[in-house]
Amino acid sequence: MPTLTGPITPLGAVIDILVGVSAPATMVLRRASKPIPQSVPLRADLDTGSFISCLDAQAILVLGLHPAGQRVLSTASTGAAMLPCDEYKVSLTIVHPSGNAALNRTLGLVTVADLPLAQTGIPALIGRDLLDRWEFLYDGRGGRFTLDY
The CATH number that applies at residue 114 is 2.40.70.10
Contact call for residues 47 and 14 (beta carbons, < 8 A): no
User: Measuring CA to CA, how many Å separate 48 from each of 29, 72, 102, 105?
Assistant: 34, 18, 26, 19
Residue 89 lies in a domain: yes
Residue 5: which H helix or E strand, with range?
A: strand 3-9
Name the pTM for this structure: 0.92
Q: In total, how many domains does the chain have?
A: 1
> Would you say residue 103 lies in a domain?
yes
* Residues 6+ positions from 86 with CB-CB distance below 8 Å: 67, 69, 70, 113, 114
**Which structural domain range is residue 43 located in?**
16-133
Residues 6+ apart with CB under 8 A from 15: 4, 6, 43, 44, 46, 94, 95, 126, 147
* 141 found inside a domain: no
Residue 142 belongs to a domain: no
Q: Is residue 50 part of a domain?
A: yes
- pLDDT (tens place) for every residue of the chain, 149 residues total: 899 999 999 999 999 999 999 999 999 999 999 999 999 999 999 999 999 999 998 888 889 999 999 988 876 665 667 788 999 999 999 999 999 999 999 999 999 999 988 888 999 999 999 999 999 999 999 999 999 99
Residue 144 domain flag: no
Residue 126 phi, psi dihedral angles, 5° rounding: -100, 110
